[in-house]
Amino acid sequence: SPAHCIEYAKLILWPRDHPNTEFDADDESHLQWVFEQAQARATEFGITGVTLQLTQGVTKNIIPAIASTNAFVAAICALETLKIVTLCSKGMDNYLMCVGT
C-alpha cells in the first residue's frame, strides 16, 4: 500500500542513507526525501497513491478526525455534565462502550 511504501522509506531507507541524522517530520527537506523515496518504491511495485499529503500524514501519525465521532463524544460529555449538575441520574462510573452503526 502507499502507506507501507512511506513507512519503508522512513524506517529503512532514511537510517541507511542518513545514519547520523534523525528523521524530523517537521523538516520539509526530510519530508520531501521520504516522499520521493516512497514514490520510487511504489512505482517499482506498481502501487499508486503516494502523495506528499499522505506522506505527511503517515510520518506524523496524523489520524483524521471524523465529524460524527466528534459529535458523538460531545453529546456524551454534555449528557454527563447534565447528569452531574442536575443529579437526575447516576453519572458514568468507568467507561462507555458503543457498538453499532
Q: What is the DSSP string of the chain?
A: -HHHHHHHIIIIIHHHH-TTS---TT-HHHHHHHHHHHHHHHHHTT-----HHHHHHHHTT-----HHHHHHHHHHHHHHHHHHHH-SSPPP-S-------
- Asked if 13 and 26 sit in the same domain, the reply is yes
With respect to residue 48, please indicate whether it lies within any of the assigned structural domains.
yes
Q: What's residue 90's pLDDT?
A: 81
Q: Who wins on pLDDT, 11 or 101?
A: 11
Domain that holds residue 83: 64-91
Q: How many domains is the chain partitioned into structurally?
A: 2
Count the neighbouring beta carbons within 10 Å of the beta carbon of residue 5. 26
Q: What's residue 99's pLDDT?
A: 77
Global confidence as pTM: 0.64
Q: Which CATH number is 23's domain given?
A: 1.10.10.520
- Asked if 37 and 79 sit in the same domain, the reply is no
